[in-house]
Structures are given as structure tokens and as C-alpha cells.
Structure 1
């Protein structure tokens, strides 16, 4: 057992040192490339530059304290198990780098929007399944990287309330994908990228709308905390209902690194996050070590030693039952008195030849019994030794007196 504990502690120390070494070696590349797509989490709990803590908090106040519900499952799973998603008046936000869906996902999304809901997708790139389901196409000229030497327009909007050259700018990731201009009549252009190509648009589907923003950079802490860029977020949210019934915020698709394979399971949630994946494998390793070292044969358990019984009390009970069956009360009383006096001689070292007041006082002091009870027991013993016949009730009373003496004797 001690060997197993030492091995487990050693493995934990090695693992911690390895993680510290890996984390320390990763600092230099991050300092060199301060903003990269690897750092973009778009998570509502991430307060780093490319997290989405700020927009998530803005949603709570913009929609009059209607707090978003965080979703960690695929859209198809949530749509199948949440009856509220089948109703109208909902708003569902998906903010991610790349959007990877399944056929079940896009079918559920289309049914969700057609019922009179709003699906807001802020991603750099959509997959072919999503584009086919909502009948639009994206042009992908390529991805540019972080440039710290210049400040370009990151997002502008087609809105009559803004001047034609109004744009919200920020140094950061340049996202240049845009909508193909040959789109159906139900598509409305709402905003452009730095190259004046449409990257924010709305598609009417049934009774609802799909909003697509090909610039998730506009939903990061880094972008929104620059100058007055928070107005860019307010402009986008202005196209949504002011009082939605329910708001949903996705935390599932932003963690996918590629197309989904097979049906969704709870293990995918654990394995897609590096920290949870490390914790899972470490738990499996510790379980195997426990089975390996604790599975050995152990020494047989030693049974507990029984408590010693009062032999005198047992002997008196056994002898009493024997004589009581023959109904020889006088002889039984003689045996009980004889055994009692022998017990007093062996236990308290008293002379039992004369059962007088001095004997009563000495026995009371040594046994711890009250003087009156000892006096009564001695008188009863003297009487039964001299009696020619003993009644049943006298024998029973004498037996009870001796039993209490044995039971309470110190």
C-alpha cells in the first residue's frame, strides 16, 4: 500500500513538472504573436483579449435583464430535448471561429428559424452543410494575420442612421471572407468588411431570420473595449427583438477543431477541452494503478476475540435449570448457597464460617453492594440452609438476589 502511494505521488509530480515546462515554453511564441487564432476562444467566461466575456455581459443588459442560457450540447440535441426551442420568440447566439455542423444540426436550425425565431451566427467560416441548408455561399480569398503596424477598418454597417464612411476599427485579426453577391431575394446586406465586401447579412426563413456575421473578431473583448466599438455590438443587436422570450448562448461549436464524427456523446465535451482531457486520462491512470497495487492478495482478517463471560453467573444459571427440572427446591437452594459462599471466599477472601454482622460489613465494603442488600442476602442464605423445605416463590426470590449480586459485584 505504501509503495503504491509513493508511485502515485511521483507520477503526479512528474506530470505537474511537465505541464509547467510546457506552459513555460509556450510563453515566448505568445509574446511574439500576441493575437493569433489559436488564442481565440470566444468563450463567455474568457476575459482574455480574444474571449467573449464582454459581449456576453452586454446581452444581459441590452435585452432588459433577460439572462442568456448557456448551451454546451449540439443544436440538434438541444432542439430535441428543449421544448422551448420549438416555440417562437427565441434568440440563439453562436460565436465561434469555424462552424462545423451535422445534417441533424442544420435541419434543427432551419426548423428553429422557420418557427419565428432568430439565429445569430458570428463565425469566420461556415461549412457546406450550413450554407446549403440556408442557400447562400461564401467567398474565401484567404486569411491574413495580425499586423501591429497599421490600423484598418474591421467592421462597417449599411444603415441609414450612420454616415456612409462610418466604420469601427481595431488592430487585430483580419477576417476577409464575404458573402457572394449573387444571393436570393430574401437576403439583406447589413454590413461590410474592411474591403467593403458584404460580411454581415440577414436571410429570411419562414417566420424568422438567420443573421450571419463573418467577423467574430467584433464579438471579442479586445475589439469591443477599443474606443467606441461597443456601438458596433449595439448596432447588430438592434436588428433583434427588444423583448425576446429566451436567449441562448452556445459554448459547444466554439470548441470544435474539425467536422463532427458520429453521434454526440458526453465524452466529446470532456475530450474537446485540453484541461478536461488531461484530467480524464489522469483519472484513468490513477484507477489502473489502484487496481494494480490494491488487487494483491491481503492477509486474512483476524477475527475479533470474544469478550470473556461471567463464568460464575453461567454456572449458577446452568445448575439452577438442572435442579429446577427435578423440583428439588431444598437441594437446589443448598447448592446455590454453597456456590455463593465459595464465590465469596475465592473472590473477596472472606471467611464464611460465621455469617454475622462483621461478615456482612466486610462483604458490603469489598463487593460495593449496599449494606442492607448484603444483610438481606446473608439472612436469606442462612435461613434456606437451615430450612427443611423451600417453596417455589422463596427459591425464585433467592435466585434473583444471587443473580443481582453476581451481576453488580465489583
Structure 2
């Protein structure tokens, strides 16, 4: 029975040990701001997503996993609705805005909370999402609402935010400031657009799990969302997770999304590469050296000729020599060797490129040998020398 390859066993044991170690070791707290609605980490939005139906007085909130353009052109929401977008940066191209603006103009509401906003949207609505220089960062900066009924006496501090982001108002006619920071800079505005309205918020961190569960900031998100009318609401996840939800994700996509499995995947790939490089060389069989096939025809002819010569059958050997030589002339030059006359001699000299005198001497010996009743050893040697001399000249 063949023994298992020790390199594969070592690789398998290493991968298994690493996966078990990553699975059972204490998981460090992940502070990555994902804003995803299925993340329980501090800066996910699972808490808000689960509470949103109650805030909107709806049985459920529909999750959108399509670009704005695709969703609004393919779905065509019935009746007026809310569209909530909470992400790190709101990325919308011209096609998205061509659908989003008419959606709001017809009486719907869009709530966007993001640090980055497209300049094209700001140019239409009259604002710009600006950011201060790094040396002006202030994690103690407090936020508050402009509405006296929503104001908190000491304000709200989201200390994981550096306080550099704010909104610069360029067209104040249709814009209402709903929230400012301690520097009196707008961070939350309402823009009337046609029959609907945009709510632009510049601090998405305020809607994450950490600040919704913190007693000091838990009511901020609910106060901000209280401006939205109670109607069917769509929650955008495309800006954060793309098109595919958990049921649509492939096994490979899931492996790449899990750090432990992702590292195990790389470990397997590189392990197989090293195995192919090093183990493959050691186990490769030696390629045997095979001698090329030899042409034994010449040896056979020599053997037969030696046999005739030793037996003294010079006449038979000479006539076979003539026969093979004439066959060679027919195949090589296409000559008729039935009659060895003057015409044959001249044609052979022209085609072979040999002197006519040498050719004439050779043909004369061939004719003489064919007419002889018996050929002696001398005749054989003379004829062989003439044939070899002719072959040497061509």
C-alpha cells in the first residue's frame, strides 16, 4: 500500500490547526465602520435597521441591493415613500441622480447620512459636503439640533468622529438647517425639492449600534429620523454591500469575507504552490535515455556482400551490384535502363553532372558485364571501383 505524502499531511495539519486557532481564540472587537444593517459590531447599523419599522410605523422596511438608477427604474415604488441611505460615502453618478431627483420632486423623501457627497448633487441642491484640515480635528466637538424641542442641553458628543466634516450652504432659499455643531456649522439640513424633500446629514456614525445603545446619544438618531413622514421606507445597502445578499453569495465570496477563512485560503494556495515546486522535483521519476533508432540497412548489405565475397560467388555479387545500381539510377534520375546506349550515357552525364568521359567508361563496364557469361573477382573489383567513383562525383 502506498504511503501518504508527508508534505500533504503537513500542509493539511497546518491549515486545520490555523482554522481551529482562529475559530476558538477570543475575537478582538472590530471597530471598522461598515454601516451595514446585518453587522452587530459597534459601527454597524443592525440596531437602527431593526427599530426602523417602528419609527416609520410600518410592518417592515425593504432592503435595496441595487444602484439608485436600477431600483427606481425597475421597481417603480407605488405611492410616496422614504429612501434612507446611511454610508461612509454616497456614490451616485449622473444616471442615479437622473432618477433620484424626479423621485423626490414627485413628493418622495430621501434621507442621506454620509461624510462624502457627490458634487453634482450638491450643485443641484445648493450645498457642499466640506471637510476641515487635519490640524483642526476635534473629537470633543458637540452636535445639537436647531429645533428647540429637540435640543439637548449639553449636546451630543460622538467622540469617535474627528469633527472635521460639515455642510457648506451655497443656496439658502430652499434649505433649512436642522442641526449644527459647536462651531455653528450646519451638519444636518433639509432641502425642499419640488413636492418632496432631501434630508442631508453629515455624521453617519451617529446612526451606528454603538451610539444608539449609549445612553448619552441613543435618542439622537430617532430625533433626526423623526423628520421623515410615516410612510413605506426603503433602506439602501447597495452603497455598503453591493448587489448580493447572503443567500446570493457564493462559497468563495463568503470565504473571502471571513478573515480566518480568507487567511486559510491563502495558506492553502501558497502551500500547494510550494508543494508543486519542491515536492514535485523530488518525486519525479528519472526519464530514461532512449537511443535513437539506427538504420541497419547498410549493415545488412555489408553483411550480405561479405557473405558472397567469402563464398567466392563473384559473378552473382557483381550482377546484384549492377542491378541495385541501375535501380538507383531509375529512382533518382527517372532514366530507362533497359538499353545502355550512347543516348543513355549522355542523359546520365547531364542529369548527374559528372564528366562525360567518366560516365561513358562506367556505362561501358556495365554493358560489358551484362554481356559476359561469367564475371571474375577482378571484374567485380573493377566494376565496384567505377560505381563508387561515379557516386563520389555526383
CA contact (8 A) 1:97 1:123 kept: yes
Q: How many angstroms apart in 1 are the aligned matches of 2:197 and 2:88?
A: 21
Q: Which residue of 2 aligns with 1:202?
A: 190
Q: 1:193 Cα shift?
A: 2.5
Query: How big is each residue's C-alpha offset from its partner over 1:35-57, in whole Å with a ceiling of 9 and x where there is no partner?
Result: 4xxx0011111111111111112
2:257 is aligned with 1:275: yes
2:235 is aligned with 1:249: yes
2:91 is aligned with 1:103: no
2:222 is aligned with 1:234: yes
The secondary structure found in structure 1 opposite 2:178 is strand
1:141 to 132, 135, 140: 132
Q: Which residue of 1 aligns with 2:168?
A: 180
Query: How big is each residue's C-alpha offset from its partner over 1:360-410, in whole Å with a ceiling of 9 and x where there is no partner?
Result: xxxxxxxxxxxxxxxxxxxxxxxxxxxxxxxxxxxxxxxxxxxxxxxxxxx
Alignment of structure 1 residues 274-313 onto 2, 5 Å: 274-275=256-257
Q: Which residue of 2 aligns with 1:112?
A: 103
**Structure 1 residues without counterparts, runs of 5 or longer:** 257-265, 290-410
Q: How many angstroms apart in 2 are the aligned matches of 1:103 and 1:15?
A: 47
Aligned residues: 261
Q: 1:103 Cα shift?
A: 1.2
Cα RMSD, aligned residues only: 4.3
CA contact (8 A) 1:110 1:133 kept: no
The secondary structure found in structure 2 opposite 1:110 is helix
Q: How many angstroms apart in 2 are the aligned matches of 1:152 and 1:217?
A: 14
2:22 is aligned with 1:60: no
Q: How many angstroms apart in 2 are the aligned matches of 1:237 and 1:156?
A: 14
TM-score by length of 1: 0.53
2:33 is aligned with 1:50: no
CA contact (8 A) 1:122 1:214 kept: yes
Q: 1:182 Cα shift?
A: 3.0
2:204 to 209, 213, 216: 216
Q: 1:126 Cα shift?
A: 1.0
Q: Which residue of 1 aligns with 2:389?
A: none
CA contact (8 A) 1:69 1:247 kept: yes
Q: How many angstroms apart in 1 are the aligned matches of 2:198 and 2:110?
A: 5
Runs of 4 or more, structure 1, over 6 Å off, are: 6-27, 144-147, 270-273, 276-279
TM-score by length of 2: 0.55
Q: 1:222 Cα shift?
A: 1.0
The secondary structure found in structure 1 opposite 2:97 is helix
**Structure 2 residues without counterparts, runs of 5 or longer:** 243-247, 273-394
Inter-CA distance 142–161: structure 2 relative to 1 (3 Å threshold): same
The secondary structure found in structure 2 opposite 1:106 is helix
Inter-CA distance 175–9: structure 2 relative to 1 (3 Å threshold): farther
Q: How many angstroms apart in 1 are the aligned matches of 2:7 and 2:69?
A: 45
CA contact (8 A) 1:66 1:247 kept: no
Alignment of structure 1 residues 357-376 onto 2, 5 Å: none
